[in-house]
Structure 1
Amino acid sequence: MMSFSETFHKMQELFYELSSKINSYTCTCGRKMDINADSSHKTRESSVDKQSLFGQRHQDGEEERILQLEGERNALNDHCKKLKHEITEKEQRILRLEKDLLEKDRSEIQMRKSLQKYEEEVSKMKTVVTNREENIRHLEELRKEDKRKIEKLTIDTRSQNVFQELNEELRITKDRCKSLETQIEKCNRKEVVLGFHTTLVPTMSSLIFNGLMKHLEDRLAEENVDLVRRPYTGKVPFNYPLLAVCVNVSRIAADAKEALRGVTEVGNCKDIALLVFHHKDVHALPSQTSDKILTGTEFSHVGLILDFAFLTNRGIYNCELNTLGIERIVTFLLQYKTRK
Structure 2
Amino acid sequence: MSFKRLNQNIFDTFNSYGVEFCSSDDTNIDRKVLEYENSPQVDYQSAYRKLCKTSENELGKLENKNKQLSEEIRKTRNEMKEQLDNEKETSKKVEERMHQCKEENTELAAKMKVLEKRLSELEANKISARNIIEELKRDKERLEGNLKDLKEHRPVSIQLYYQVKGDMTSKMLDALKSMLVTQMGVERNELQFIVCQNELDVNPELPLLVFCISASRLGTDASTVLQNLNVSAKVSVLIFHHKDIHALPNQSSERVLTGPEFKALGGIFDIAFLSDKGIYPCDMNQTAAVGIESFLRTQS
TM-score interval w.r.t. the shorter chain?
A: 0.3 to 0.5
TM-score, reference length from structure 2? 0.47
Greater C-alpha radius of gyration: 2
TM-score, reference length from structure 1? 0.42
